[in-house]
Structure 1
Amino acid sequence: MNGTGVPTDVLRRVAVAGADDAGGLPVELLGDFLEVLSVAVCEGKPLQRRALHRFRARGEEAAGQGVALRALLDLYLSSAWRLWRELPAVIAAQSDPNAVVAAGEVMLRAVDDAVAELAEGYQLARRTLVRSQVSARREFVDDLLTGGADVVGLLGRASGFGLHLTGPHAVAVVTADRDFTDDSSLVKAVERAVLGSKGDSDALVASKSGNLVVVFAAPDRDAMDHVLHGIRSALGPRTSDDGRVQLQRRTMDGAWQIAVGRPRTTAAGVVASYREALDAHDLAQRLSLNSPVIDARDLLVYRVLVNDRPAVTDLISTLLTPLLEARGGAAPMVDTLLAYFAAGRNTAKTARDLHLSVRAVTYRLDRIRELTGQNVNDPNDSFALHAAVLGAKLLDWPATPLS
């Protein structure tokens, strides 16, 4: 027997039964709740402020352990109703019925006060924990994509966020008319699509500088295609007649495009793949490429052109400057060549894309041959012309004079 009027072994039995009801939570989470509650009922007094502060601390402790709030409340309420029948006033109910009424009032108030403090402590701790986790995640994402952190430490932190960087990983960057934020529903939809229902995939989804970034394991092409398909499915269908990619209105208004870097290993490889994806997006913008997915490996030839500006300038000057003599200048001729090569050298499709007649397209191609001496139907000439007009697109020629 103790100062509560309830035997210690009874209190222990009640606590264990309440913990079982709550799904097997640790009995220690109850603290001295049963003892304090018994004393309050026996003395007919509400719980003291000091005791209530202890329950708030128990709520914070449970939040830190990852215990669900529903289970925690179940633990306390189950223990309380089991304790009721063991209280002296209830056991002696026949001899003093009024004492039972008084005990009930005190107990209900005490349980209400204790549970309120418990829940408040839990919720405050969860908010602090979430803020801490969000901050740590943001710091990790920044370190991972900029490459400014210790590599060994970064590898250790990566596993805590679901990444195992020993194998090849690729980075996909989604750009849109409106900025992405980590708490947006669209980002969460992409995360569900990439991580799967169990959330155990080797991937990380986050926002960075207004873009959506997906770092994912890419052991082979099938794995890359699977992730890219998941991203596209989450973003929604394309619904535009002018070639722009549109998001569903229920998620976000505006265009989106995915650029993906090549797979590489280690944390340094992630940085390289991320930068490559950004470069691919930049090239796609400069070349007016409207495909929903831009793969960096498909743009290697464009990067060669960008990196050797003197050679590209010489190529344009040699092959394309004669087009300045055409009626209307060189720009319509360059646009015709770009559309022609993009259409797989199909004259009819080129005409549809440019909203011209087939005859007009044929005339322009013939005029290009007359002025440049290059035949678009000759493989060697076609290759040279294609490289030249791509370079012109990159350098914004003829709108911008060659330097």
Structure 2
Amino acid sequence: MDETARVPADLLGGHPRMLSEAAATGRLPGREALDGYRAAGARAAELGLPLREMVDAALSMAEAVVSGPSDPGSSAPGASALRGSGSDPAASGPAWPGPSGEGQAKGAAPAVLSALRRAVSALMEGYENAQRLAIRQEEAARREFVDDLLHGRADRLAERAEHFGLRLAESYVVAVARPAVSVRAVDTGPGGTGLVGVGSDGTGPGGKKAAPDEAGTPGLRDSDPVARRIEEALVARFGSHNVLVAVRDGLLVCVAPGSLSAATGEFTHHVRQAFEPGWCVGVGRAHRGPGGVVASYREAGNAIELGDRLGLRAPVLKAADLLVFPVLLRDREAIDDLVTTVLSPLLEARGGPEPLLDTLEAVFAVQGNQAAAARRLGVSTRAVTYRLERIRRLTGFSPDDPTQRFTLETAVLGARLLDWPAQPLGPAVRA
């Protein structure tokens, strides 16, 4: 089928006459004509016409002009092949300049080819500019949707969710990845903590402006090629309507259906390949509805923050595995009292409490194996034994006793959560 038959007449209606004029006079298309070609290319992109068809149609009309003379009393060569053309092609579409005179096209191929090259170049420029604009608009809409989704703003959320393939009645899991950068947490208020990432605009979780000493090194940006590669890999495997990947607050966020269990594992796999050592992934639990996405997002970010506070070495932290820690933080007075009662005697130790706290953490991490704890700490087994005895004498608690071990380990975890002893506990509790 002739490609010109697929192109609406209002897009290239003036093209044959411009070519005929170039053949007759050698005149190249001016600024007005080139602007018309750019507008035609942009319109073709908006209509979804393939660029190949537009270029083929333009070339076919040029062949008709070069192959023989035009009849001054009829339409320009090639014009009748345009879809929907039943009248003068110059009467529709962009304002193409009219011919100064029709003449024989034979022997004028160089002039026609030069004019054709400029015309096709302008046509392609308009088409590509329109496509780039459409991509930017789609990315802006996607960023806005992700912001609204992760912050629980429900205005028109369901309508836009369908466009991006999310069925909000289902349960979704959110995973967030933080690159190996120096990023500190920002407190988001009572009852919870925020994500640890800081966005490229300097804002922390929830849009709060990070303090200068909290900003650290910026995380990912919206245009980061690493984020785009991971998104493309996930879309290639699961489809664009099954995963949503975006950058938010300097973190790479992946939203996937709870039923798609392989998605978070695949996300982590690509993060491991793309990020430098030191990366961390937090995975929230599956929740239903728009509010469920927000809850899972916060859980994933809080998992990373808890890992930082507790010094956890695992690169993948699941909120489901860390449920005990939010429970501890909910009763702040009780955890303050526990830390003060059990661990405050360590403040009297020579060299401070930190070496003893580190020893307890290492011993608990290896289920009481003192030799393994010594290797983790880089000290001798004898030094670990001495420190544990010192802890027993100061606090009255020993990790060798099952009941005391639980109390001691909970107190150590609470101290890390509260950043004790660097952050003193409330005076009312200590009193």
Does 2:120 match 1:80?
Answer: no
Deviation at 1:86, TM superposition (A): 5.2
State TM-score, norm by structure 2: 0.74
1:296-326 superposed Cα distances (whole Å, 9 cap, x missing partner): 1222111112221110111112222233344
Q: Is the partner of 2:255 in helix, strand or coil?
A: strand
The structure-2 alpha-carbon separation of the partners of 1:105 and 1:325, relative to structure 1 and needing over 3 Å to count, comes to closer
1:86-134 superposed Cα distances (whole Å, 9 cap, x missing partner): 5449xxxxxxxx9555432442243233213312322332333233222
Does 2:11 match 1:18?
Answer: no
RMSD between superposed Cα atoms in Å: 2.8
Tell me how far apart the structure 2 counterparts of residues 139 and 351 of structure 1 sit (CA, whole Å).
Answer: 51
* Residues 102-111 or 35-44, more deviating: 35-44
Residue pair 1:30, 1:76 contacting (<8 A) in 2 also = no
Residue pair 1:174, 1:213 contacting (<8 A) in 2 also = yes
Does 2:50 match 1:65?
Answer: no
The structure-2 alpha-carbon separation of the partners of 1:319 and 1:34, relative to structure 1 and needing over 3 Å to count, comes to closer
Q: Is the partner of 2:2 in helix, strand or coil?
A: helix
Does 2:429 match 1:389?
Answer: no
Residue pair 2:41, 2:125 contacting (<8 A) in 1 also = yes
Residue type matched to 1:122 in 2? Y
Q: Give the fraction of aligned pairs with identical amino acids, expressed as a percent.
A: 42
Deviation at 1:42, TM superposition (A): 7.1
Residue number in structure 2 paired with 1:164? 167
Residue pair 1:276, 1:296 contacting (<8 A) in 2 also = yes
Which one of the candidate residues 23, 32, 37 is aligned to 1:55?
Answer: 37
The structure-2 alpha-carbon separation of the partners of 1:322 and 1:38, relative to structure 1 and needing over 3 Å to count, comes to closer
Residue pair 1:173, 1:260 contacting (<8 A) in 2 also = yes
Which one of the candidate residues 282, 286, 291 is aligned to 1:263?
Answer: 286
Residue pair 2:67, 2:106 contacting (<8 A) in 1 also = no
Tell me how far apart the structure 1 counterparts of residues 410 and 158 of structure 2 sit (CA, whole Å).
Answer: 42
Return 5+ residue gaps in structure 1 as ranges. 1-15, 90-97, 236-245, 248-254
Residue pair 1:392, 1:398 contacting (<8 A) in 2 also = yes
Residue pair 2:19, 2:115 contacting (<8 A) in 1 also = no
State TM-score, norm by structure 1: 0.79
Does 2:390 match 1:367?
Answer: yes
Does 2:110 match 1:125?
Answer: no
Which one of the candidate residues 328, 340, 345 is aligned to 1:322?
Answer: 345
Deviation at 1:186, TM superposition (A): 0.8
Bigger relative contact order, structure 1 or 2, given CA contacts below 8 A and separation 6+? 2
Return 5+ residue gaps in structure 2 as ranges. 72-102, 182-217, 427-431
Residues matched between the structures, number: 357
Q: Is the partner of 2:240 in helix, strand or coil?
A: coil
Q: Is the partner of 1:119 in helix, strand or coil?
A: helix
Deviation at 1:32, TM superposition (A): 1.1
Residue number in structure 1 paired with 2:256? 216
Residue type matched to 1:231 in 2? V
Give the alignment of 1:3-402 within 5 angstroms.
17-19=2-4, 26=7, 28=9, 31-33=12-14, 35-37=16-18, 39-40=20-21, 43-44=24-25, 46=27, 47=29, 51-82=33-64, 84-85=66-67, 87-88=69-70, 99=104, 101-150=106-155, 153-176=156-179, 177=181, 178-196=218-236, 199-200=239-240, 202-219=242-259, 221-235=261-275, 246-247=276-277, 255-402=278-425
Tell me how far apart the structure 1 counterparts of residues 165 and 66 of structure 2 sit (CA, whole Å).
Answer: 47
